[in-house]
Structure 1
Amino acid sequence: MTKQFDPDFGLTAQDYSRHRAGFPPELVERLVTAGLELPGKDVLDIGTGTGSLARLFARAGATVTGLDPAAALLEQAKELDRAAGVEVDYRVATAEDTGLPEASFDVVSAGQCWHWFDAPKAAAEVSRLLRPGGHVVIAHFDWLPLPGNLVEATESLITAYNPRWTMGGGTGLYPRWLTDLATAGFTGIETFSFDLAVPYTPQDWVGRIRASAGVGASLPPEDIARFTEDLHRVLREQFPGEVLAVPHRTWAVTATAPRH
């Protein structure tokens, strides 16, 4: 029987904190254009990880609570917040059972994490937590595998080491999340996306991949070490250079809380 794929991002907290590119500031600009103001709002960021989205919203003037089941990631988030000069209230809990009071937030966000949730339960909890007229934001910031590019080569290597990882070949678009929200009664569902290239040094790209679900969060240490060596070799031989321009896509869906 194939072992269930159940990554633990707490195992890779340091790489996650150091190497994973955060959401671009342009995301806030696009949200404002979409009619979602953040200054002075109470925001809950579920599945916050190391606080990438939470920090972005705190910088935009929101009062932010970040929530994640991995305490090790939240410790990294606090260090990054101190360096950034922002404050976020972090709590250990799951998106499906936050333990927070109902109708206590203007915005609930989920960055790079909705696929890990039990969607019906998470959507119901988000609905419970939002005030009347409140909004949910589900956002992703994904690398893009294109024919012959370094992302495609990297994903091939991940799959070779971890056949249980089936998250490669993505487009950075998530139409299923729209269905999740509509089924839960959310209205005014809208999406937007934009592409950009993120500069990585080879060392940082290797660290970024070690921090992924298919490597550092699920492989044994000896396999992670061998994978690291092999990915360095792939970069040297196929994609030489001091800076790698890695294509990414930012995608987001916003929706209004259902009436109760």
Structure 2
Amino acid sequence: MKLENIDKGKEFDFGLTSDYYAKYRDIYPKSMYERLISFGIGKSGQRILDLGSGTAVLPLNLAHTGADFTATDISENQINYGKALVKAKGLDNISFKVCSAEKTGFADSSFDVVTAVQCFHYFNAEKAAVEIWRVLKPGGLFCKIFMDWLPYEDSVIAEMESLVLKYNPNWNGCGFKEYKFIFPDWAKNRFDIENVCSYNTELEFTKEAWLGRIMSCRGVGASLSKEKAAEFEAEYRRILEKYDEPLKLKHQIHIEIYKVNK
């Protein structure tokens, strides 16, 4: 994939990181899922379409609610790893499809909820909004979620970003500050805002888990050559030696719940 607004058009593919992704990207805290449930996401019997699902992190963590999930992603490799995780857990309420967020191929008004976690910025927002509007039932919900680490409040994160930029100077997945919600253009005349929730939290990682999480990020495993990614990994392991475990790293979580207007 290449996008002009992402890393100055440098190509990236999260399918190259699927082994790391499956092991280390289940990073969202219990508090986030509790909030989603309180907002009506994950009710028993709901049909939920998860766009940009990767290895099905969100469906796996909400499967216990009794909702039926369809996990989609443009990467067949990500989907295959997700299928393996679902099979290992013996779940029967998560299905999969390889497709884009802008053209899913599902019937009109076929889902109660659409979710997009840490991925909407990779979509063509206008086209994805049209598709989300189309596949949602009247009164259905669209849940947009993303989580940012906070480098200006955490030296571990700041040092990591500096190292990623050393290997990938065009990477722009860095320098995040606290997010302030503004109603987006893509939602106008299609969605009404139901809930906005932003909160700060500390996530705990072992060094190995944090390293795996960074290896799976766009600026490293999804875009560097295997040789450069291996060099990055070796250098970052040396840097992490000076820190104590567990690492407690500052993040901000953003949840936006929209109700379809139709």
Q: TM-score, with normalisation over the residues of structure 2?
A: 0.90
Contact preservation (8 Å) 1:119, 1:180: no
Q: How does 1:30-41 map to 2 (within 5 A)?
A: 30-36=35-41, 38-41=43-46
Aligned letter for 1:63?
Answer: D
Q: Deviations over 1:60-114 (max 9, x none)?
A: 2210001001011111112222333433101000000001111000000001100
1:62 equivalenced with 2:62 (yes/no): no
> Which 5+ residue runs of structure 1 have no aligned equivalent?
none
Match in the other structure for 1:166: 172
Contact preservation (8 Å) 1:198, 1:248: yes
Aligned letter for 2:113?
Answer: V
Distance 1:124 1:181, change over 3 A: same
Shift of 1:247: 1.9
Counterparts of 2:135 and 2:249, CA distance in 1: 36
Counterparts of 1:3 and 1:140, CA distance in 2: 21
Counterparts of 2:116 and 2:180, CA distance in 1: 13
Counterparts of 1:172 and 1:80, CA distance in 2: 33
Distance 1:123 1:172, change over 3 A: farther
Match in the other structure for 1:94: 100
1:118 equivalenced with 2:121 (yes/no): no
Distance 1:83 1:250, change over 3 A: farther
1:212 equivalenced with 2:184 (yes/no): no
> Which 5+ residue runs of structure 2 have no aligned equivalent?
1-6
Distance 1:110 1:8, change over 3 A: same
Aligned counterpart for 1:254 among listed residues 230, 245, 257: 257
Find runs of 4+ consecutive structure 1 residues off by over 4 angstroms: none
SS of alignment partner, residue 110 of structure 1: strand
Counterparts of 1:214 and 1:183, CA distance in 2: 32
Distance 1:52 1:171, change over 3 A: farther
Counterparts of 2:74 and 2:89, CA distance in 1: 23
Shift of 1:42: 0.4
Q: Deviations over 1:92-147 (max 9, x none)?
A: 00000001111000000001100000000000000000000000000113322234
1:200 equivalenced with 2:200 (yes/no): no
Counterparts of 1:184 and 1:86, CA distance in 2: 38
Counterparts of 1:37 and 1:86, CA distance in 2: 15
Once the two structures are aligned, what percentage of the paired residues are identical? 35
Distance 1:181 1:55, change over 3 A: farther
Counterparts of 1:92 and 1:109, CA distance in 2: 16
- Tell me how many residue pairs correspond in the alignment: 255
Match in the other structure for 2:244: 241
Aligned counterpart for 1:76 among listed residues 64, 72, 81: 81
RMSD, aligned α-carbons: 1.9
Greater shift, 94-103 or 147-156, is seen at 147-156
SS of alignment partner, residue 175 of structure 1: coil
Aligned letter for 2:15?
Answer: G
